[in-house]
C-alpha cells in the first residue's frame, strides 16, 4: 500500500498498483455519467430541479440520503435493471406461474378510500375505480394469465403462495429507480425468479410529494416482460 495516504489511490498518487487498478474504473464512471445522460437523460429531467429546490428541506428527515441520490444514480439503476432482467430471464420464463407486484403509489385513490382486499400475499384490487392503474393491470392479468397484488412485505411468502412451492412463481416487481435494484437482489437471495419494471415517474407521499399522486407503468413493457402477446387494453 502506498504511504501517500488512503485517498491517494483516487487521485493517481499511489506508487503501487492501486492507481493503475482504479484508473480505468474512474474513467469508465465518467464515461457512463456522460453517455447515460445522453441516452437516459430525457427520463430524468426533474431530478436536478428536485435536488436544488426541494431536497434542502429534507435535511432532518430519515430519507435525506435516499432522496438525495444524484441523476447518474438513477441512470445506473435503470441500466442495472436491464442487466438483472437479462441475467434472470430464463428462470423467470421457466416459472409455471407469473405474478405482478405493484406498489401502493399506483392506486388512484388514497389508502383510506382504496377498497383493495387483504390477502396473505398482498392486497387484491376490488375494482372500485375503473381508471385506476392497479385495476387496469389486474384486468390485463386476467386476460393474459398472471396474478396481480399490491406489494407485500414478504416476497418469499407471496411467491410461495402464488405457485405451489417456494420459488415456483416468477414475479415482476414494479418500483422506482432507487429501490428496484435492491429488490432484484433480494428476490435472488430468496430464490425467486424475478423481472423488474420501472415506474414512469415517482409520486409516493412517503418520499416525493406530501400529498402523493398516482404513478404509472408502461403496459406494453409489462407484457413484453411477461412474454404475453396481444393488446394492452
CATH number at residue 114: 3.40.50
Strand order in the sheet with 147-150: 147-150, 97-102, 169-175, 194-198
Question: Do 119 and 34 fall within a single domain?
Answer: no
166: Cα within 13 Å, side-chain hemisphere: 9
| N residues, the chain | 233
Q: Are 38 and 45 in contact (CB under 8 A)?
A: no
| Strongest mean pLDDT among 12-16, 36-40, 126-130, 149-153 | 36-40
Task: Show the domain range for 32.
Answer: 16-42
Report if residue 1 sits inside a domain: no
Beta-carbon contacts of residue 46 (< 8 Å; ≥ 6 apart) = none
Report if residue 53 sits inside a domain: no
Number of domains observed in the structure of the chain:
2
Beta-carbon contacts of residue 89 (< 8 Å; ≥ 6 apart) = 195
189: Cα within 13 Å, side-chain hemisphere: 8
Averaged pLDDT for residues 61-78: 95
pLDDT in tens, 49-61: 999 999 999 999 9
pLDDT in tens, 101-119: 999 999 999 888 999 999 8
Q: Are 47 and 74 in contact (CB under 8 A)?
A: yes
Report if residue 3 sits inside a domain: no
Query: What is the reported pLDDT for 156?
Result: 45
Question: Do 86 and 146 fall within a single domain?
Answer: yes
Task: State pTM to two decimals.
Answer: 0.82
Does the structure show a pLDDT above 50 at 232? no
Position 212 confidence tier, pLDDT thresholds 50, 70, 90: confident
Question: Do 33 and 88 fall within a single domain?
Answer: no
Position 10 confidence tier, pLDDT thresholds 50, 70, 90: low
Report if residue 57 sits inside a domain: no
Least confident residue range of 39-53, 71-85, 109-123, 218-232 = 218-232
Query: What is the reported pLDDT for 79?
Result: 97
Report if residue 9 sits inside a domain: no
Report if residue 151 sits inside a domain: yes
Question: Do 145 and 30 fall within a single domain?
Answer: no
Report if residue 58 sits inside a domain: no
Does the structure show a pLDDT above 60 at 134? yes
pLDDT, mean over the chain: 85
Question: Do 23 and 133 fall within a single domain?
Answer: no
Amino acid at each position: 500500500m502506498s504511504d501517500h495516504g488512503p485517498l491517494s489511490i483516487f487521485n493517481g498518487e499511489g506508487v503501487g498498483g492501486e492507481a493503475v487498478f482504479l484508473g480505468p474504473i474512474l474513467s469508465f464512471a465518467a464515461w457512463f455519467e456522460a453517455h447515460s445522460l445522453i441516452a437516459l437523460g430525457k427520463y430524468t429531467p426533474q431530478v436536478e430541479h428536485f435536488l436544488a429546490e426541494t431536497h434542502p428541506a429534507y435535511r432532518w428527515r430519515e430519507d435525506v440520503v435516499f432522496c438525495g441520490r444524484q441523476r447518474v444514480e438513477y441512470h445506473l439503476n435503470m441500466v442495472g435493471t436491464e442487466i438483472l432482467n437479462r441475467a434472470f430471464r430464463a428462470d423467470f420464463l421457466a416459472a409455471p406461474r407469473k405474478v405482478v407486484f405493484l406498489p401502493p403509489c399506483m392506486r388512484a385513490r388514497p389508502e383510506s378510500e382504496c377498497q383493495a382486499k387483504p390477502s396473505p400475499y398482498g392486497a387484491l384490487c376490488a375494482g372500485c375505480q375503473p381508471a385506476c392503474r392497479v385495476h387496469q393491470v389486474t384486468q390485463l392479468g386476467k386476460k393474459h394469465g398472471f396474478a396481480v397484488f399490491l406489494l407485500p412485505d414478504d416476497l418469499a411468502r407471496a411467491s410461495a403462495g402464488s405457485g405451489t412451492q417456494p420459488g415456483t412463481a416468477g414475479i415482476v416487481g414494479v418500483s422506482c429507480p432507487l429501490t428496484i435494484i435492491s429488490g432484484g437482489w433480494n428476490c435472488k437471495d430468496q430464490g425467486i425468479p424475478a423481472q423488474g419494471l420501472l415506474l414512469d415517474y415517482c409520486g409516493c407521499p412517503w418520499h416525493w410529494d406530501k400529498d402523493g399522486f398516482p404513478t404509472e407503468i408502461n403496459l406494453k413493457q409489462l407484457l413484453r416482460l411477461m412474454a404475453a402477446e396481444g393488446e394492452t387494453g
